[in-house]
Chains A and B, each alone.
Chain A
Amino acid sequence: MSVPAEKKEKISVPFDYNKYLRPGKLPHIWCPGCGHGIVLKAMLRAIDKLGIDKDNVCVVSGIGCSSRTPGYVDFNTLHTLHGRALSFATGIKLARPDMKVIVVTGDGDALAIGGNHFIHTCRRNIDITALVFTNAIYGMTGGQYSPTTPLESIATTSRYGNIEPPFDTCEMAKAAGATFVARGTAYHTLELEKTIYEALMHKGTSVVDIIDACPTYFGRMNKYKSATHMMEAMEKDGTVSVKQVDKLPPEKVAGKMLRGVLHKIDRPEYCEQYALLVQEKAQAKSK
């Protein structure tokens, strides 16, 4: 049987990441098995699908292991302060609405110290894509519990088990007004690429909550044998696709996080509204 031409091509030519990686920056700082690298690759493939000029892409991050991402990618890149990436990004986007602005942030960065910026960015519906690398821990500072650490999990600051209930990042983004909300995992890497691509194509604030593994801290402290074990237990078995959820018996869904595009609506985008305000009100008034 003959293989269809396009499929064959896809199989024989692996993705050329060097097109988007800055030369000489690898190996990256992430630990063996850290999910951040897998997510980075999915992000680059998704950006590639956009077919957009690298000069017009801006990648902004806060502080954390995940926030080291911009250093490796060949775009306009900004590594800011802990929690503040979305605010810096808002400034850039407002000043240059023609640029594609992508924020890479950790769950601690986005939801703890940056929680206020997170909800207000969603509320404004400014055209920024936020990729939240959710490893349920503060990786960079050595494994303290984060706003997404599950109850009873062990962290270096919850040695007796975490008693703080975690956020559902997607529910929060949706409630705050984000017009595109999705979840993916590092394990489902092709699906993640597609989800990020859809997020990038969406006009308005898009949030992708990406479950990935920190084997060094979360894994070790919570008795996972390896990065693979974490990916299987947390990402593969811990999530179900929105496309399948209705077909599955309740016991197969209980306690699992939903994967896929969870929310997508149309609502006026901030920069477009600003441009309208300038044209129709402010400048009209001054005439």
Chain B
Amino acid sequence: MTGCETFYDVIRRQGISRRSFVKFCTLTAAAMGLGEAHAGTIARALETKPRIPVLWLHGLECTCCSESFIRSAHPSAKDVVLSMISLDYTDTPMAAAGHRAEAILEEIRHEYRGNYIAAIEGNPPLDEDGMHCITGGRPFVDKLEEVCADAKAVISRGSSASWGWVQAARPNPTRATPVDTVVTDQAVIEVPGCPPIAEVMTGVITYIVTFDPLPTLDAQGRPQMFYSQRVHDKCYRRPHFDAGQFAESFDDAGARKGYCLYKVGCRGPTTDNACSTVRWNDGVSSPIQSGHGCVGCSEEGFRDQGPFDERLAHVGAFGVEANADRIGFAAAGAVTARIAVHAEASAVERMVHKPNGVAEDKNLASLDGGPR
């Protein structure tokens, strides 16, 4: 353990120059969508605040959140893991195993009570007293409750932790349950996505380390700065949508011309995420950019709303039971009206959530009475 060292102490010890540190702060401010003026605030915080320990637990999951995390470019996972925080426990890239690993959990819980972050990947199964996920010889749900109880903040990483996800899809054989249903006496920061965008995960951590009060959350408990726009809002195929130009199948002329993927199932219009702007793998591409529609992986209940390659027959967010033809037609004729409908749909959608962050029937299928 590095005790009270600050982020700045650590990077200087690693031989990183002051100049690189300042550049890092500027890039990080930019990555979080803050102006350059905030680079100074970030620098001051990283110079003065002690590195914060993070315990990263894994429940029922597939490790794709960790895989995404290690690909973060700004800030890089290396900067976050080796310097900014002290990632003391994670089932994946951690050297220790067995008793040694479990001992670390205990140590941090006691030495840093109330001062560490619990980052949860995956979720606990509650059936059979939690027997479907055993780690260190006991049910994961026990470990989860213990570690979260003494944490300063709990981050639900990925759609498994946030919504229940693939293992919670019908018929949910293990009764896989979202983290915030089990951890109820703590504010849980939801960072959904399957996996979440790397920069969103590192950005949330940077924000907590820098500004201390937790980031502003939306009605579903997600950090507003990353989840306030729909994939559709900034999609580079959007001009085609507005012009009513759609790919009808994955191999037609429209697909080759890069037309809108709405008719082949794109969920961009009902998905709040930063894929269109931040993109993936250091901004190389995104699912829509590589030719497949958005499947809506960060939205609650998406797993039970297939088939994914079929257009959304009923799009609640459009306010009417519109199909793609009608939407395209209307869009071509009245772009302004569409934007208004969109904004209104947003507001309506927010209203159906309970203010305490528990999402209530957000999804399109549930809005139009479809299956959950």
Partners in one complex: no
- Which residues of chain A have a CB within 8 Å of any CB of chain B? none
